[in-house]
Amino acid sequence: MPRRAALRYVPAMTRALPTALLLAFPLAFMVLAQPGSAQTAPTSAVKQNVKYTAVQKLVKVTTDGGKRTETLVASPLTVVRGDVLVEEVTVQNVGRQTLPQVTVTMPMPNGTSFTGQATAASGRITLAYSTDGGRNFTPTPQHISSVTQNGKTVLQKSAAPMGEVTNVRWNVRDVKAGETLKLTYRVSVN
């Protein structure tokens, strides 16, 4: 039987926030909302009315009669190498007005690798990836480095494998009052 690794477990949290918040735990994430503004990269916390819930689920796969079925086990206490986890954040606009943009940034938990599965971009949702701890985000995973060419510093980009993604970020436009969004991504335990 494989040795089970202890997973640092954080119970689901639900709370209304008056300002932007960055949580420092394995399921840390940042939610930024900007009433009356359509900027894509906020530089300071602004007043908002966003309620969030963060949960982690273990994906258990069974096969019966050739049919593959996934069952999600909420708040797993232990995992083994190769287990797949679903990281999920639910975001709700609890204010009275539409939020022009809500940005949600989620890191990969320690000891895991991104599988490449995440809530996809759509007409009002953009998805971006970081391979450098959340400093730079691009529409596809890329390594970004500064190099000197002909005496000038330029950024060089090259494709990166999904397993090297350190953070995912969604920008959601026009989140209506009372609207709830569920954003997920999957990781594999190393």
Whether the CB-CB separation of 105 and 167 falls below 8 Å is answered with yes
Amino acid 48: pLDDT: 67
Instruction: Give the separation between CA 101 and CA 39, rounded to whole angstroms.
Output: 8
Which is it for the CA torsion 129, 55, 24, 26, positive or negative? negative
Q: How many domains would you assign to the chain? A: 1
Amino acid 90: pLDDT: 94
pTM of structure: 0.71
Instruction: Give the separation between CA 92 and CA 75, rounded to whole angstroms.
Output: 21
The one-digit pLDDT tens for each residue of the chain (190 residues) are 444 343 433 333 333 322 222 222 333 444 454 444 333 333 334 456 899 889 999 999 999 999 999 999 998 888 999 999 999 999 999 999 999 999 999 999 999 999 999 999 999 999 999 999 999 999 999 988 888 889 998 888 889 999 999 999 999 999 999 999 999 999 999 9
- Provide the domain limits for residue 184: 5-189
Q: What is the dihedral of CA 55, 163, 24, 73, to 10 degrees?
A: 20
Strand partners, 71: 60
Instruction: Give the separation between CA 104 and CA 29, rounded to whole angstroms.
Output: 7
For 105, the token pair is 């940034």
- Kindly write down the DSSP assignment for every residue of 94-128, as one continuous string: -SSS-EEEEEEEEEPPTTEEEEEEEPPP-SSEEEE
